[in-house]
Chains A and B, each alone.
Chain A
């Protein structure tokens, strides 16, 4: 098995793990959303890597070019990017309201305040 041929995918896996780790391990809610962002973006990188054809050109039809990269993952990821920013904005809106209600955006503080009452 050619190690190089999977190198891209493995790096992407590392990126996903880092993003996922931030989501779970950090108590700050904004940080969690940032982690989520990294996690999602890494999945986009996975998809786009799938679409690459070695020696291919960008999928814009040009005369004299016969080998193009796969346009389908691009279309899917365009949609997924939109989903990502939509999620981020809703999450941040929630964070602002949580801060107004609790005076903190730290998960542990919030948990503590909820348990007190």
Chain B
């Protein structure tokens, strides 16, 4: 049964990717990308990677198509063009890469086998000991926020870098401050009454759900990153329906930009506190006499830092992109 679901999902993925090769319109490609994200998220669920599936659903099927749509809106759909000459070089390169990949798979441990080295060397400790060492049920969160917390700091820094990079690239010369949207009332000609009413009902719950995901990540799938994305999506939904100027009055760009840095600093400071006590960076045992409690506090703080940065950076990126769209319109 599992095998059947697996194969069907994989075939759908191949079909989507194939369609992406053929389709030329940007709007259709964007939709297919979203489908691809959703399908891969479903596949991750069948592979027991619930946290990853959650993230991929939020990012692959949500944020990245949204950014693509905003881009397409700003640059126009463009005319689909007929294919040029057969891209021989591309075919050769791709074939070589594919051949190399196939060669690489030949000596791999078979799919799903429990005695593969990947499942016998480092990972067992996480599964066996994280219960008593960290004391939270979600092993992915344990590894993410404690055993490999430095990687996660790097991850937060990556998303922070993305925010900085987008602002740096899209800041229009001559404009004071960074990419601040202009306040042009009535840039949306038509009110979306039904959508606005429904979203007004939903947005509080979206934000509430984000908080649930944020603080429940130790027990179930979820955590700072997913929560941040969901929180930002609430803000983005508001922005899409009420216009950029309105959302900017509610959630000020300057505040969000500062919060992006604050999240990283919160993470970093959590790590630094251990150093002040002479222990290694990100050693949470400094927070409480009981090491398990210390881990709890540390993970809570660190995840909060992740959530704040992710929510702010995604909002900042949305502001910057939507601003470009409004400039293209006006």
A interface with B by C-beta (< 8 Å): 2, 5-11, 13-22, 24-25, 27-28, 30-31, 33-35, 37-38, 41-42, 44-45, 48-62, 67-79, 81-90, 92-97, 99, 105-106
Contact = CB atoms under 8 A, between A and B. Distances in A.
Contact of A54 (B94, B98, B113): B113
A83 B119 contact: no
Contacts of A53: 48, 112-114, 119
Contact of A77 (B17, B49, B110): B49
Contacts of B304: none
A18 B51 CA distance: 26
Interface of B: 6-7, 10-11, 13-14, 17-18, 20-21, 24, 26, 29-30, 33, 36-37, 40, 43-44, 47-52, 55-56, 59-60, 63-64, 67-68, 70-72, 74-76, 78, 81, 84, 87, 89-91, 93-95, 97-98, 101-102, 105-106, 108, 110-114, 116, 118-119, 122-123, 126-127, 130-131, 137-140, 142-144, 148, 151-152, 154-155, 158-159, 161-162, 165-166, 169-170, 219-221, 225, 317, 320-321, 324
B60 A6 contact: no
Contacts of B84: 27
A34 B13 contact: no
B101 A92 contact: no
Contacts of B169: 90, 93-94, 97
Q: Is the interface of B mostly helix, strand, loop or mixed?
A: helix
A75 B18 contact: no
7 contacts: A2-B110, A21-B21, A55-B114, A60-B140, A74-B140, A77-B52, A93-B166
A17 B20 CA distance: 12
A2 B87 CA distance: 35
Contact of A60 (B161, B162, B221): B221
A22 B21 contact: yes
B111 A58 contact: no
Given A8-B6, A71-B123, A74-B140, A28 B112 contact: no
